[in-house]
Chain A
Amino acid sequence: MSSSVSDRTSTDGLPTVRPADLAQARDTMRDAARAGHRVLVRGAGTAQSWGAPVEPVDVVVDTTGLDRLVAYNPADMTVAVGAGMAMADLQDRLEGQRVALDAARIPAGATVGGLLATGDGGPLRASYGTLRDLVIGVTVVLADGTVARSGGHVIKNVAGYDLTKLFAGSLGSFGLVVEVVLRVHPRPEASRTLAVPCPVTEAVRAAGVVLSSPLEPVAVDWHDDRLLVRFEGTTAGAVARADKARELLGSGEVLGGDTEEAAWSGLAALVRGEEGQTVLRAGTRPDQLPEFAGLLGTLAERHGVSAALTAGVGVGVTTVALTGGSPAGHGAVLDGWRARVLAAGGSVTVHRAAEGTFEVAPAWGPAPATAPLLRSIKQRLDADHRLAPGRFAPWF
């Protein structure tokens, strides 16, 4: 290892390198390339369980030393940060502004780079998208130590390929993200949430009513047998629109302050999951939610597992948590449910799996039509397959 890089050993015994700047990050990757070492990139470690388990690696690159606030320009609505900075820390440093991302892992310390590499998002994705929609530039180090930038420091920019997108969802397999430039938005003055108790079938209808009204909710999610409709804006505006939505739907309770906070953090807890659970996330057409929720119930019962589900109703993002039963049960539900989602053109990513699940059902489903393309990109960026080996197996 390069002498400029501080080595340390992690609890699980793997040599871990924690670069503190771009030069150290490049040296780390170059050294690994020279030695033919296989590399796992780790941020805060909140999502290392996403995708297929990585095969044994020789070195872990810990990004948390790359935690500098590089440039914050509130009047340009942009901020550049090291990829290892915790998103929660970044949010604290923005004055009257925010990164409009509320992924469930953020309170657990998830890093900006890790959030990009997972393509994660939360309920706000309905109006602001996920990090892929908020990233305007990246600096990455490729497997061979090449430092490459794409995008830039301005919101509007179409020069060159938008490589930021390639790293969104790449789970550390295309390169090490070192620096990220983000677009920020004004922090709203207030928020209110209308909570309407209803079954999932009714939730889709009710969400449709609100979404086709001009009330502009920022998030519409179903969780714990309630439809949660969040409004943000001026205090008067958020209150008035939540009230109007309640009139429109004919029922529900307007939540603010602690009760509102509790409703959304309950949803986040389900999404984060816990040890022993299997957690999956699916993307489908929004109106298929009742069908897939019903199917999940049937499969869970058949295989002796209990299943909980939450969904971004307007965008078609569903997170499922399986608890109890046997690994075979988890595997069977995963396999059966995923097959139907894929058949309908959707996608499924496993976020965590109870031990033994993957012995029954593979981490990824059948390879998509894009697999040859993904393989070809991987080949150009990491020909020796040294980064996160196995993360997307058997796709690439």
Chain B
Amino acid sequence: MTAIADLRDTLTAVLGPAGVISDPVELRTYECDGLAGYRVVPSLVLLPTTTAEVAAVVRACHRAKVPFVARGAGTGLSGGALPVAEGVVISLQRMRALVEVDPANHRAVVQPGVTNLAISRAVSAYDLYYAPDPSSQQVCTIGGNVAENSGGAHCLKYGFTTNHVLALETVLPDGSVVWLGGPSPEVAGPDLRGLMVGSEGTLGIVTGVVVRLLRKPEAVHTLLADFPSIEQAGNTVTDIIGAGIVPAAMEIMDQLAIEASEAAVGAGYTLDTPAALVIELDGPADECGDLFEAVQELCHRNGTTKIRVAADDAERGRIWTGRKAAFAAVGRISPQYFVQDGVVPRTRLAEALGTIAAMGAEAGLRVANVFHAGDGNLHPLVLYDDARGEHERAEKLSKAIAELCVDLGGSLSGEHGIGTDKACSMPVMFGEDDLATMDRVRRAFDPDGLCNPGKMLPTPRLCGEKPGPYRPHPLEADGVIERL
């Protein structure tokens, strides 16, 4: 019997027939995540319902030396949950219990398959919420959020997943179960919890999460301001930060993104404005009101042509719908598109956008821009038409944009992760020794290389014999940092 057939039988005994998928048609449902360009059909999909079952599955895989890939909702945008052909997928979708809501201690204990939004909904009655808010929050799971260290529009002020999880119950790659972190941020010894967050499912499978909850702010103020240029919108953001104000969110959309969004949801954005800036402030009512006036003043000083202030929650919701719909809406103005997720130091935004526009023009492709302006996290959308043979050009442009971000002193990814998609670009951002050190840590957890193999770190198999030349970090070239 093959290892997989053997596993199927062993695990059917543990999980029951409903917990094991081996039908080829059903297996195809799991062939990709949100990055549909990469597809691999797994050999087996397992649907455990308890930590003990996850541990049993991992132990069995470990014994049989079969690779395994964890999967939440499959909304990931970097091919992190891409299956391995001769391996299994462990779906956490059936682990959806809110184990404990503890309003007195401002925390909740949840299973990994609970959606991000379900947490905030469950604690709303206590005036609490879970702060990180990825646009995909209605469907993505907290386990996926932990694996990707997901952020959202409000992470400029509130931080990312790593700042909001206290403890993680984790099944390690050998099947043993440990809690990383603890009941308080004060722990004894190294912060293994923090290492697990953002590790893209390569260090173990998270089966329980203790999240920190925040008190809802007393006041929220939101505005949408039009600007004659992206640069003026960007300068406004600089001035706001210069004034010592940290808004909950600052988001910029360019004309193409606005056009797409309006076509899809009609949130009332100005169609012919070159740039729109969404600003949200929250906090204690009096101070928040004062700061909101200061922010409007800064918009005017930078030449805003129109400010729309959300009068109530419904209007705030519409402004956010326009922003959050932009991604998917790009489908309205282009048959296909690639999304990038690079980060540049905020002060180099104008330069980055100028270069991206020039690169787009040279490639003969349109690029729409939606970005988190407060932290420099770009989301350039490269539009293309497969029917016109533009796929390859678009893919090249998309990759070049991510690498440009590194050249400008930033990062390949602000929130979507490296996964399969950007693993071969890692040598652009990190040197050989940096990557070798990450690999040492990975092996400390997973000496057999079974836990989501082929993701995040470049391998010869994935990237060719040489995973890419080492290039000096651009900040090194500028003399800002030094390798040695």
Residues of A within 8 A of B (CB): 21-23, 26, 70-71, 73-78, 80, 96-97, 119, 121, 125, 129-130, 132-133, 142, 146-150, 152-171, 174, 179, 185-187, 189, 208, 211-216, 233-234, 236-237, 240-241, 281-287, 314-317, 344-349, 364, 368-370, 372-374, 376-377, 379-381, 392, 395
- Contacting pair A316 B186 (CB below 8 A): yes
Give min CB distance, B349 to chain A, whole Å: 10
User: Across the two chains, which residue of chain A brings its CB closest to B478?
Assistant: A71
Judge whether B140 is part of the interface by a CB distance below 8 angstroms. no
- Contacting pair A157 B411 (CB below 8 A): yes
* Interface contact tally, CB-CB below 8 A: 300
Contact of B191 among A76, A166, A380, A381 (CB under 8 A): A166
Judge whether B187 is part of the interface by a CB distance below 8 angstroms. yes
- Contacting pair A146 B437 (CB below 8 A): yes
Judge whether B46 is part of the interface by a CB distance below 8 angstroms. no
Q: Provided the pairs A162-B197, A163-B438, A373-B444 are in contact, do residues A287 and B104 lie with their beta carbons within 8 angstroms?
A: yes
- Contacting pair B162 A162 (CB below 8 A): yes
Q: How far is the CA of A374 from the CA of B285 in the complex (A)?
A: 46
Q: Which A residues are CB-close (under 8 A) to B215?
A: 211-214, 216
> Which are the 6 A-B pairs with shortest beta-carbon distances?
A165-B194, A283-B186, A283-B184, A214-B218, A186-B244, A316-B184
Give min CB distance, B429 to chain A, whole Å: 6
* Inter-chain pairs besides A156-B160, A158-B413, 16 sampled, C-beta below 8 Å: A76-B376, A133-B163, A142-B437, A153-B410, A156-B151, A156-B343, A158-B148, A158-B417, A161-B441, A163-B441, A165-B191, A215-B284, A237-B286, A315-B184, A369-B177, A392-B189
Q: Which B residues are CB-close (under 8 A) to A96?
A: 244
Judge whether B389 is part of the interface by a CB distance below 8 angstroms. no
User: Across the two chains, which residue of chain A brings its CB closest to B217?
Assistant: A214
- Contacting pair B190 A169 (CB below 8 A): yes
Q: Which A residues are CB-close (under 8 A) to B159?
A: 129, 133
User: Across the two chains, which residue of chain A brings its CB closest to B483?
Assistant: A147
Q: Provided the pairs A76-B345, A152-B411 are in contact, do residues A161 and B183 lie with their beta carbons within 8 angstroms?
A: no
Give min CB distance, A136 to chain B, whole Å: 10
Pairs A–B under 8 Å by Cβ, sample size 26? A23-B484, A70-B480, A71-B480, A76-B347, A97-B244, A119-B187, A133-B163, A148-B433, A152-B409, A156-B377, A158-B148, A159-B412, A159-B422, A165-B190, A166-B190, A211-B215, A212-B126, A214-B217, A216-B283, A283-B185, A284-B184, A287-B104, A316-B184, A317-B184, A368-B189, A373-B172
Q: Mark B471-482, 1 if CB is under 8 A from A, else 0.
A: 000010000111
User: Across the two chains, which residue of chain B brings its CB closest to A162?
Assistant: B198
Q: Which B residues are CB-close (under 8 A) to A185?
A: 246
Contact of B414 among A149, A156, A364 (CB under 8 A): A156
User: Across the two chains, which residue of chain A brings its CB closest to B159?
Assistant: A133
Judge whether B332 is part of the interface by a CB distance below 8 angstroms. no
Q: Which A residues are CB-close (under 8 A) to B105?
A: 285-287, 316
- Contacting pair B245 A186 (CB below 8 A): yes
Q: How far is the CA of A71 from the CA of B347 in the complex (A)?
A: 14
Interface set, chain B 184-222, CB cutoff 8 A to A: 184-195, 197-199, 215-218
User: Across the two chains, which residue of chain B brings its CB closest to A170?
Assistant: B190
Q: Provided the pairs A71-B480, A146-B437 are in contact, do residues A152 and B429 lie with their beta carbons within 8 angstroms?
A: yes
Q: How far is the CA of A372 from the CA of B414 in the complex (A)?
A: 32
Contact of A75 among B241, B417, B436, B441 (CB under 8 A): B241
- Contacting pair B185 A315 (CB below 8 A): yes
Residues of B within 8 A of A (CB): 103-106, 126-127, 148-149, 151, 155-156, 159-160, 162-163, 172, 176-180, 182-195, 197-199, 215-218, 238, 241-242, 244-246, 283-287, 290, 343-347, 372, 375-377, 409-418, 422, 426, 429-431, 433-438, 440-445, 456-457, 475, 480-484
Give min CB distance, B470 to chain A, whole Å: 12
Q: How far is the CA of A147 from the CA of B149 in the complex (A)?
A: 25
Q: How far is the CA of A236 from the CA of B289 in the complex (A)?
A: 12
Give min CB distance, B340 to chain A, whole Å: 13
Q: Which A residues are CB-close (under 8 A) to B179?
A: 345, 369-370
Q: How far is the CA of A348 from the CA of B309 in the complex (A)?
A: 50
- Contacting pair A75 B346 (CB below 8 A): yes
- Contacting pair B481 A155 (CB below 8 A): no
User: Across the two chains, which residue of chain A brings its CB closest to B126?
Assistant: A212
Give min CB distance, B420 to chain A, whole Å: 14
- Contacting pair B182 A346 (CB below 8 A): yes
User: Across the two chains, which residue of chain A brings its CB closest to B212?
Assistant: A315
Q: Which A residues are CB-close (under 8 A) to B445?
A: 373, 376
Give min CB distance, B395 to chain A, whole Å: 19
- Contacting pair A152 B410 (CB below 8 A): yes
Contact of A161 among B160, B195, B483 (CB under 8 A): B195
- Contacting pair A241 B284 (CB below 8 A): yes
- Contacting pair B433 A146 (CB below 8 A): yes
Q: How far is the CA of A392 from the CA of B190 in the complex (A)?
A: 10
Q: Provided the pairs A154-B376, A158-B414 are in contact, do residues A168 and B149 lie with their beta carbons within 8 angstroms?
A: no
Q: Which A residues are CB-close (under 8 A) to B238?
A: 75
- Contacting pair B194 A162 (CB below 8 A): yes
Give min CB distance, B24 to chain A, whole Å: 34
Contact of A346 among B184, B189, B412, B443 (CB under 8 A): B184
Contact of B444 among A237, A345, A380 (CB under 8 A): A380
User: Across the two chains, which residue of chain B brings its CB closest to A80?
Assistant: B481
Q: Which A residues are CB-close (under 8 A) to B444?
A: 373, 376-377, 379-381
- Contacting pair B441 A395 (CB below 8 A): no
Q: Which A residues are CB-close (under 8 A) to B190?
A: 165-170, 174, 374, 377
Q: How far is the CA of A158 from the CA of B416 in the complex (A)?
A: 8
